[in-house]
Amino acid sequence: MSVETDHICPSLPGKSLFSRLRNDALANFAIKVLSAGILYVTQIILARWLGVADFGIYGFTIVLIAILAQTSCLGFNETAKKYLPFYQTKEEEDKAKGFLSYIFSRTFIASLALACMGLAAAQILPFLGLDSYYKAAMVAVLAIPIFALTHLVENVAISQSQFWQGLAPTFLVRPLLALILFAGMVHAFDLGAAHHAIVAMLIAAGIVAIPQYQSVIKPLWAGWSDRKADQSNKGVWRKESFPLFLAQGIFTLSSNIDIIILAFFVPEPKVAIYFAAAKTVSLLAFVHNSIAGVMMRSLSVCVAENNIPQFRAVARLGQWASMGVTIIGAGILLLLGNWILGLFGPDYVVAYSVLALLLAGIVIQSASGGAQEILITLGYSNLLAKIVAFTFVLNILLSILLVQSYGIEGVAAATAFSTALRACLTFLAARTNFAKQHPLH
């Protein structure tokens, strides 16, 4: 348990938090829905422009960036959603300013170090038979710092309910700008390979990061200009963020390890076909993540206000919202799956079985609601890290075992099973530990 959040007692629920929760959820959901549509359309266009083989390389590289950028945040992207609203509710702006400056400096240092190590590690790809991925991987590691810092800003924005200012540049503007830049590269200079698409995305990320920082971080610094940055609790921040670093790092790896494994066992066109199905399923993952992100802030405020009845109500609301929307969305994707996959090109329709398997895992995950966020808020980050690590290892073992006999369908089955098991274990852990702290009388 965190020393800052382990004294919680019940109080009467109010309506203000639910009003904020509703408004936050609507804003976050609107952005994520728009983003899902924009991202999906851009992926379809890229798939047709790049061709099946290059789109497989592109998918592998996107996954690589996601893993390395998430890892560079050292778990502070998650604790930002807890500690910033917690300190602000307690009117401890000195600690809030100290926390913000601390997490940005550490994330920047970590991302630079990881980029340097990535450049060195990329040199071995040709020796592993992955020489076709080399150029795109080299560009990907250069993108780590900007993507890591942007990810941190996004979560700070969520903690402040600044969804449009913090999320719109990344999720709405960046993919469109990257597509426009890549189109210019293709038509003006005939640069249409996978690594050129990654270069366009890197340039777009740098462009949108400037207004994003100006609208989210700069006002916080201005509001705290007369405050001294208090970092006296940095040991607590590190202690709580480290298991989240492990959990989120492994979670991101677990969510993307299927693409990495496939790159070693199947040709690039098969990677592309699987990636198309995975991106289709990610439309529903956006919904679950947006609801969970809103819950994190609201749960943290409940803890700061010692309001356990409202904590329970927010958790229930998040669970039902996540499960209901996901089940409806999964039904639509199953009905229209062949047509949707065909938008990528005729070669991608064979991914319907992969789509169905991955959807099964996402539906079960949605039933857990915000169990992961509840564990973080209550201080059980170590337990969450253990659950995620266990299911991650299981996912790798099952994927390697099944890919050799069943190809991309085997990896999809392993991923779906691991996702479902992680959700079940996380839900049981959150329910059990919350009941121990706050039993019903």
**What is the reported pLDDT for 17?**
53
pLDDT > 50? residue 7: no
Residues 379/240, Cβ–Cβ less than 8 Å: yes
**What is the reported pLDDT for 13?**
37
What is the C-alpha to C-alpha distance for residues 215 and 220, in angstroms, rounded to an integer?
9
pLDDT > 70? residue 438: no
What is the C-alpha to C-alpha distance for residues 204 and 200, in angstroms, rounded to an integer?
6
**What is the reported pLDDT for 225?**
83
Strand ranges (E), 194-250: none
**Any domain includes 204:** yes
For the segment 134-163, the average pLDDT, to the nearest whole number, is: 92
Q: Give me the percent of the chain exceeding a pLDDT of 90.
A: 55
For the segment 70-79, the average pLDDT, to the nearest whole number, is: 90
Listed residue (394, 384, 381, 378) closest to 428, CA to CA: 384
Q: Which domain holds residue 120?
A: 16-437
Residue 436 burial by Cβ neighbours in a 10 Å radius (0-12, 13-18, 19+): exposed
Listed residue (373, 421, 432) closest to 398, CA to CA: 421
**What is the reported pLDDT for 269?**
95
Listed residue (389, 115, 368) closest to 243, CA to CA: 389
**Any domain includes 10:** no
**Any domain includes 407:** yes
**Any domain includes 25:** yes
**What is the reported pLDDT for 296?**
65
What is the C-alpha to C-alpha distance for residues 134 and 207, in angstroms, rounded to an integer?
25
Structure token digits, residue 33: 């829905």
**Any domain includes 1:** no
Cite the DSSP H helix spans in 343-380: 352-366, 371-378
pLDDT > 60? residue 286: yes
When pLDDT is cut at 50, 70 and 90, the band that residue 9 belongs to is: very low
Domain count for the chain, please give it.
Answer: 1
**What is the reported pLDDT for 388?**
86
What is the C-alpha to C-alpha distance for residues 397 and 297, in angstroms, rounded to an integer?
35
**What is the reported pLDDT for 20?**
63
Angle at the Cα of 248 from the Cα atoms of 70 and 171, rounded to 5 degrees? 45
**What is the reported pLDDT for 21?**
60
For the segment 242-255, the average pLDDT, to the nearest whole number, is: 78
**Any domain includes 157:** yes
**What is the reported pLDDT for 307?**
75
| Higher pLDDT among residues 215 and 15, named by residue | 215
**What average pLDDT does the chain have?**
86
**Any domain includes 4:** no
When pLDDT is cut at 50, 70 and 90, the band that residue 1 belongs to is: very low
pLDDT > 60? residue 267: yes
pLDDT > 70? residue 4: no
Least confident piece of the model among 61-65, 88-92, 287-291: 287-291
**Any domain includes 11:** no
**What is the reported pLDDT for 336?**
95
For the segment 183-198, the average pLDDT, to the nearest whole number, is: 94
pLDDT > 50? residue 211: yes
**What is the reported pLDDT for 283?**
80
